[in-house]
Amino acid sequence: MTAVPSDGCGTASDPPATLNVANEYIVTFPPSYDGTTPIPLIFGLHGAGRTNTDFRQTDARMQDTELEANYIMAYPKSSGNDWTGQLSANIDRVEALYNQLLGDYCVDKGRVFATGHSSGAQFTTEFHCQRDGLLRAVAPVAGSEFGNGCAAIPTLIIHGENDSVRGNNGSAHVEKYRMWNSCSSMTMPYEVASCNSVAGGAEVDPGCVEYQDCSATLIWCSHNDPNYNGGTNHGWPCFANDAIFDFFTNIQ
């Protein structure tokens, strides 16, 4: 897919230092950033009661991963305790950061993605639904069936098969995306490597399938990783970062 340069492209530069504005955002740049080659961008959205630093370092554990090595990573902090309690303000907040990054840095406008945990996953859906066309694909983790009448978009949904916090297996969330992406009910296995949970080291079955006959790709990983800080089956599973990296990287 041919890159679409943002307005910030054109002036050669070394990778910027990590941008860190307290209570607003953290942005990291890959070593390949040179100011002239458009780099894809991922928004990573934290869960309720957590911060962007918690998400990057502890919850999603994205710091120093392949994601940060290959993408511009933007970790905004919500206005308020979560993303959906002040939904309109937070949509404006993330859109403003989107515009700032595309205006000041060399971003591939055709490859802007979002992922998030729990409240951040719900916001990922809402942001796509209300700002259709800004995101190329999404990967909500442990979210809920937010959004109505949204446009089709390539989607990877990751959800614990017995999520004790959501009280469900994520099927209602998946069903919304199945309708939006015009998929049939048929699925085929989708290969994602197993891993060992950070919660006790148990081997995790990612449980991924890909829906068929879709207008936009839909993958559902119904996993059995028990990892969560303070509960079970609502955390960021051990395979998630690799699966999200592969999914976004292979989007055409």
DSSP 56: I
- With respect to residue 42, please indicate whether it lies within any of the assigned structural domains: yes
CB contact at 8 A, 222 and 192: no
Q: Which residues of 10-42 are buried (b: 16+ CB within 10 A; e: fewer)?
A: eeeeeeeeebeeeeebbbbbbeebebeebbbbb
**What CATH number has the domain bearing residue 42?**
3.40.50.1820
From the number of C-beta atoms within 10 Å of its C-beta (0-12, 13-18, 19+), residue 111 rates as buried
Residue 112 lies in a domain: yes
- At residue 145, the pLDDT reads 84
Range of the domain at 179: 19-249
What does the pLDDT average to over 78-91? 95
Q: What is the pLDDT of residues 91-140, one digit of tens each?
A: 999 999 999 999 999 999 999 999 999 999 999 999 999 999 999 999 99
Q: Quick one: pLDDT at residue 230?
A: 67
Asked if residue 206 is part of any domain, the answer here is yes
**pLDDT tens readout for residues 27-59:** 999 999 999 999 999 999 999 999 999 999 999
**Rounded-to-integer distance, Cα 1 and Cα 3, Å:** 6
Distance CA 151, CA 129 (A): 7
**108 phi/psi in degrees, rounded to 5:** -80, 105
CA 133, 96, 157, 109 dihedral sign is positive
Would you say residue 6 lies in a domain? no
Does 14 fall in a domain? no
Domain presence at residue 1: no
- pLDDT (tens digit per residue) in 144-161: 888 788 999 999 999 999
3-class secondary structure, 110: strand
Q: Are 252 and 117 in contact (CB under 8 A)?
A: no
Number of structural domains found in the chain = 1
Q: What is the pLDDT of residue 1?
A: 74
Q: What mean pLDDT is reported for the chain?
A: 95
Confidence of residue 186 (pLDDT cuts 50, 70, 90): very high
Residue 12 lies inside a defined structural domain of this protein: no
Mean pLDDT, residues 215-224 taken together: 97
Residue 252 is predicted with a pLDDT of: 80
Nearest to 198 by CA among 222, 226, 223: 226
Pairing of strands 187-189, 208-211: antiparallel
